[in-house]
Amino acid sequence: MPKTYTPPQPFEEGPAPSIAMTRVNSSQIHSMGYDAATRELAIRFNAPGDRDLPTAERVGADALYVHENFSPLAHADFLSADSLGIYHGQHIKGLPFKKYRLTPADAATSSS
């Protein structure tokens, strides 16, 4: 039986939400941010070639994934996880999200 393929989610129109991003030490995640007022979790993944680079030299992918209605407790659990990538895969990956294309200016802002 052939494998089924789900096409990638399209990018949202318009600019990404303005959420302060913090670079993290993860082989999968470049940076992340949380806006407690709007309960939005934003995640930027590493670019394919980033995995073998030191954290400070990783460029990050050109997409920002935003999960809405993300609780403060879930955010605290995510931050305290032994592995951000494993936690994301087990608890966040299946949640609904919006995907935004990052412009070069957005990407520079989310690299801090």
Tokens of 91: 């608890």
Check residue 76 and give its pLDDT. 97
Strand residues in 3-53 grouped as ranges (E): 22-23, 29-35, 40-45
Residue 84, domain extent: 22-109
Contacts of 103 (CB under 8 A, 6+ apart): none
Q: Does the reported pTM lie above 0.75?
A: yes
Look at residue 9 and tell me if it is in a domain. no
Look at residue 35 and tell me if it is in a domain. yes
The type of residue at 8 is P
Check residue 62 and give its pLDDT. 87
Look at residue 50 and tell me if it is in a domain. yes
Reading the chain (112 residues) residue by residue, the pLDDT tens digits are 777 767 788 989 989 999 999 999 998 999 999 999 999 999 999 888 877 888 778 778 889 999 999 999 999 999 999 999 999 999 999 999 999 998 766 666 555 5
Check residue 58 and give its pLDDT. 78
